[in-house]
Structure 1
Amino acid sequence: MFCSVLSRLFTAALLLATLSHHHEDADFYPSSKLRVGPAQSLEWDPNGYLIFCPCMGRFGNQAEHYLGSLRVAKEINRTLILPPWRSYKNIPFTDWFKLEPVRAYHRVVTAHDFMEFLAPEHWPPEKRIGHCWNFPKNKCEMKAGNPFGPFWDELGIDFAEEQNYRLGNDMDNPQVVREWKERFPPDMHPVVALKGAPAKFPIAASNRNIQRHFIWSDAIEREIKEKFTAERPFVGIHLRNGQDWVNSCNHAGDIPQFFASPQCLSSAQRVTKDLCMPSIEEIVSHTREAVIRVRAKTVYIATDNNPYLDELRAGLQDFDDVVLLHLNPWLPQIDLAILGRADHFIGNCVSSFTAFVKRERDAQNRTSTFWSFNRPGDVSGK
């Protein structure tokens, strides 16, 4: 998988920590109910195509790879084949996000439309080459293991040949962009299919604002309208406190980077255990400050485990009109979308789930803060 050396050091812990987010084991929208035909007439792009397997972790990590891969496709001037999101099965991109806002950033086509309307003529089975970020002498196994094999199988893709490549992922560096174009000229490689994302984790700071092009689908909007009827203003909070997260945070003391921590820390700052796993006292006092600041009527709680309802009620007992709301929806994207609309948001700096919310809110100039880092008085949240 294409990632930075530092990211590789944390891959095992990352996978462990992301495999347990509670909602994502639920059933998903039946794609047949949501999918429509291609939004526009599809013509072959002579500049070529790029597709990857979003196969590291769950939604928060996958989202960072989507954003970075969009940047790669734009810089090397290829249409990005939007892969499905990966859970226990492939979830079409358009189940959760609208397509046209993404097209405002760069050329894209859904994987389903590409395979149905373009691949039969332009990318037949005998011409399908898979590429692994690997050393030349190592074997490239595009479909070895789960989720790699099931991901490609569900798209109906087998590879006639497999090759290795080693290229950088810093799209702010013109030399790296040139190397990509030289390695994969479109006349010889019309479709570049990658085992992993061609982008770094955590996301490069220069790519964060691409998220403004990720607009929730009508299906997600209907879910929110149906389930979230709380009174505003409201404070949204994200709590990570499941045992897998606790175990991961035990390794987070006094290190330069951990998971999504660059979203709040500079290279000169260090990750602490409190940043990763804030105390109950910090959660209660920070939430209380936010309630006071925005005059909140509701506190919306999204969590993978314990919502701390009793502790928060005790800490807010002098606010008779404040309601604590923990929906625990069947789909985590519902939590994400609601948190993005809060009048103030408090999240976990180390979490890529929080990071998705923070980027969405930054694009809308909404305030955010992080547990054990800053407080609601910092209106920028940055």
Structure 2
Amino acid sequence: MVRYPMLHVFALIFIISSSEAKNNVDKNGYIIYCPCMGRFGNQVDQFFGTLNFAKTLNRTLVLPTWIKYDLFSDKPIFVPFDHYFMLEPLNVFYKVMLIKDFMHLAPKAWPLSKRYTFCHSSRNFESKGYPNDCNPKEGSPFGPFWDNVDVNFTAGSRFYSPLQFYPATSEDNLFELKKLKFLWDTKFPPPDYPVLAFVGAPGSFPVKISDVHLHGLLIWSQQISQMVDKHFFDLYGVRRYEYIGLHLRNGLDWKLTCQHVGQTDQLFSSSQCLGENNEFGQLTAQICFPTQELIVSQLRNVLQNSPNITNIFIASDKNHMILFLQANFKDMNIYKLESEDPQLDLYILARAYHFIGNCVSSFSAFVKRERDIENLPTSFWGVHHLTRAINLFHQEL
């Protein structure tokens, strides 16, 4: 299995570099943003693009809190970045710092006279009497996110159009990257704009193929690993890699999303199994929202090729179909977490003997990328081939 190389050696480097970052202002500037689009899978996709963008501009990336949404409340929940993931691999790859640490440095690094917010063009709320600018705190989770870290944009807004976050060509060659940096530095020189604070993430959703390899930098924190042991592996006596993992995306919002099938060649993360140019197939209703009959048939085929597997773990946004699947697979032990926790679901699904996910879902895409690192098999509902693992580890890692 491939793990992030020499992680124990990187710990000392991380301690030194993170200590320096906390106390010294980066003269090249910073990037900070609100991960305000969608749930966790979407936020992760955009994080990869943002990390690469920060590296291109040679600005320190301020790691935001993740935004979580309670099923029973409209208020967003803010989770520190390092609650989910270790910082060491990221800090070895590039200069990053937690948002709480940056805010301690902000009086020196980000004077009130230079606290601009950045957006492509006006977020127009003129009907509410707001000015024609970025209005970075209008709406949720935008306002609560910035209020949570006590940021007010006292210098106003700046529009970055027509600048882009990625090179103009599909080739991410050195010349194009330097050109991109030159354009941003020319319009927003670091001495005048020490912090580029974006209303939304300066990264693509779905994640670009050129950014996929960065998933190898996301190593779950010890806290998450211990929670999974407590709430699943130790609780039920199930071992890693000795169960089938299923992701069932079947909530009402997803049903409405799947109504767009037939109107577009790609939807959300569907390129992960169909290919960027649909070279592996076309999007169908069964791929997006599989029927119960298809789920049973496909799961049965996987079990026939999975000797000695007697456990199934299910993650779902709505209906785990436990009773239905128990009726169809009487010899199987079928589990789900007692309390919903998407991050624990992701951890468990990534360590299944075989994973069946939803091709369109960014949640399933997260699992697939993590499994690709360890060369573990993934298949998708309604797709009749094993998806090809992507080589996540480029030389730059």
TM-score grouping bracket, smaller chain normalisation:
0.7 to 0.9
Q: CA 1:135–1:220 in structure 2 vs 1: closer, same or farther (change >3 Å)?
A: same
Secondary structure at the counterpart of residue 305 of structure 2: helix
Query: Quick one: which amino acid aligns to residue 318 of structure 2?
Result: N
Counterpart position of 1:150? 144
SS of aligned partner of 2:97: strand
**More moved, 132-141 vs 250-259:** 132-141
- 1:124 Cα deviation from its structure 2 partner: 2.6
The 1:326–1:165 alpha-carbon spacing in structure 2 relative to 1, beyond 3 Å, is same
Match among 311, 331, 334 for residue 324 of structure 2:
311
**Which amino acid counterpart does residue 123 of structure 1 have in structure 2?**
W
In the other structure, the counterpart of 1:248 is 257
The aligned residue for residue 283 of structure 2 is 271
Q: Which residue of 2 aligns with 1:193?
A: 197
After TM superposition, give the deviation of residue 182 of structure 1 in Å.
2.7
Cα deviation per residue 1:21-47 (whole Å; 9 max; x = unaligned)? xxxxxxxxxxxxxxx9x9523221111
For the pair 1:351 / 2:347, whether they are aligned, the reply is: no
Q: In the alignment, which residue of structure 2 is the partner of 1:48? A: 29
- Secondary structure, aligned partner of 1:89: strand
Per the normalisation by structure 1, the TM-score is: 0.84
Q: Does 1:78 align with 2:87?
A: no
| Alignment check: 8 A CA contact 1:348 1:370 kept | yes
CA RMSD of aligned residues (A): 2.2
Given candidates 161, 164, 171, the residue that maps to 2:159 is 164
C-alpha contact 1:136 1:165 (8 A) present in aligned 2: no
Alignment partner, residue 24 of structure 1: none
The Cα shift of 1:365 comes to 1.6
Indicate which of 48, 53, 77 corresponds to 1:67: 48
Q: How many residues align?
A: 341
Alignment of 1:223-372 (within 5 A): 223-229=227-233, 230-231=238-239, 233-253=242-262, 255-266=264-275, 267-268=277-278, 269-295=281-307, 296-317=309-330, 320=331, 322-372=332-382
Alpha-carbon distance, 1:307 to partner:
1.5
Q: For the residues of structure 2 that align with 1:243 and 1:252, how far apart are their CA atoms?
A: 15
Deviation, structure 1 residue 75:
1.3
SS at 1:51's partner residue?
strand
Deviations 1:145-166 (A, max 9, x none): 1111110011110011211112
- TM-score, normalised with respect to structure 2: 0.81
Distance in structure 2 (CA, Å) of the matches to 1:126 and 1:369: 53
SS at match of 1:210: helix
Residue 296 of structure 2 aligns with an amino acid whose one-letter code is: V
Counterpart residue number, 1:18: none
1:132–1:141 CA contact under 8 A, matched in 2: no
Report if the CA contact (8 A) 2:29-2:194 is conserved. yes
> Where does structure 1 lack aligned partners over 5 or more consecutive residues?
1-35
Task: Name the SS of the counterpart of 2:334 in structure 1.
Answer: strand
Shift of 1:126: 2.8
Per-residue CA deviations over 1:338-371 (Å, capped at 9, x if unaligned) read 1111111110011111111111111222111111
Residue pair 1:209, 1:363 contacting (<8 A) in 2 also: no
Give the corresponding residue for 2:108: 121
Shift of 1:275: 1.1
Question: Mind listing any 5+ residue stretches in structure 2 that lack a counterpart?
Answer: 1-14, 69-75, 125-131, 391-397
Aligned mates of 1:374, 1:180 — CA distance in 2 = 45
**Separation (CA, whole Å) in 2 of partners of 1:180 and 1:285:** 53
1:113 counterpart SS class? helix
User: Which residue of 134, 138, 151 corresponds with 1:140?
Assistant: 134
1:162 is matched by which residue type in structure 2?
Answer: S
Match of 2:38 in 1: 57
Distance 1:178 1:122 in 2: 22
Code of the residue aligned with 2:313 in structure 1: it is Y
Matches of 2:160 and 2:371 in 1, distance apart?
Answer: 36
Match of 1:100 in 2: 88
